[in-house]
Amino acid sequence: MIQLSNLTYYPIKACRGFDVAESQVERMGLANDRRMMVVTPAGEFLTQREYPRLALVTPAVKNGMVTLSAPNFDSLQFGIQSTGTPTSVNIWKSKDVSAIDQGDESAQWLSDWLGVSVRLAHVADGFKRKLNPAYAINADDHTGFADGYPILIISEESLLDLNSRLDSAVPMNRFRPNIVVKGCDPFAEETWKRIRIGGVEMALVKPCARCMVTTIDKDTLAKSKEPLKTLNTYRKQELGVIFGMNIIPLNEGVVKVGMSVEVLE
């Protein structure tokens, strides 16, 4: 039996994630997942590619409040703002995404941590950042500040297969999935088109091409050539080096760790 074995959401794009026992699945993705993003004063998004120190930022969300913390750094708490006067931010090919600035305190905290002037933005309530129509299921499919799709799924078996080929095993957090499953063959997730977890149906629409972010140790920030070097030897496709599948939720509902994963097609 295939089971949901782990759920993770990432409150701020490129920052640390949180494992949870259950989550509301919204059309935009898991609740609170990558609704916020660090941007330049001009609104351009930042990632671990240029600023690996983002990986050490832990954003905790509770009751509409965010607590930012980082190693040997004073923490900061502030209230999430999702309405108000919008500003425009850019992420990949999505231009003029409507977002709400989170204020000077969070901007200063992140600027001090990164050593560069930045702002923190939250996707504006009601704004829909549409998906690539070549892969969308419905015309209004949308996501927040994820790279391209609402949810990423990977099986434990796929990671075990990769680690069996590496000199030093890498943890799942190198790949930043939202949903981890177990009980299937390695890379079986790439053969699934539709799955159901609880009452939530999801479409698996596109393999996830991986980048150098996977080569950064999320605890030490040490960089190496792995796992991309090994993945390149047996996981390279036309889209790039593949690991994990992008998902579009087809409806909304609650999913919980331990639930069975039903492959519909």
- Location of structure tokens 């015309």: 139
User: What's the rounded mean pLDDT across residues 140-152?
Assistant: 96
User: What's the rounded mean pLDDT across residues 132-154?
Assistant: 96
Question: Are 143 and 26 spatial neighbours (Cβ–Cβ below 8 Å)?
Answer: no
Question: Are 206 and 245 spatial neighbours (Cβ–Cβ below 8 Å)?
Answer: yes
Question: Using one digit for the tens of pLDDT, what is the confidence trace for 151-209?
Answer: 999 999 999 999 999 999 999 999 999 999 999 999 999 999 999 999 999 999 999 99
State residue 83's pLDDT score: 87
User: What's the rounded mean pLDDT across residues 198-222?
Assistant: 96
Q: What is the CA radius of gyration of the chain?
A: 18
Question: Using one digit for the tens of pLDDT, what is the confidence trace for 105-120?
Answer: 999 999 999 999 999 9
State residue 194's pLDDT score: 98
HSE-up (13 A, CA, CB side) for residue 156: 10
For the chain, what is the mean pLDDT? 96
State residue 5's pLDDT score: 98
Question: Using one digit for the tens of pLDDT, what is the confidence trace for 231-248?
Answer: 999 999 999 999 999 999
Question: In this model, does residue 229 exceed pLDDT 90?
Answer: yes
pLDDT band for position 131 (cuts 50, 70, 90): very high
Question: Using one digit for the tens of pLDDT, what is the confidence trace for 67-94?
Answer: 999 999 999 999 999 888 999 999 998 8
Question: In this model, does residue 40 exceed pLDDT 90?
Answer: yes
With b for 16 or more beta-carbon neighbours within 10 A and e for fewer, the 36-64 pattern comes to bbbbeeebebbbbeebbbbbbbbbebeee
Sign of torsion over alpha carbons 176, 139, 263, 26: positive
Return the structure tokens found at 27: 């059309």
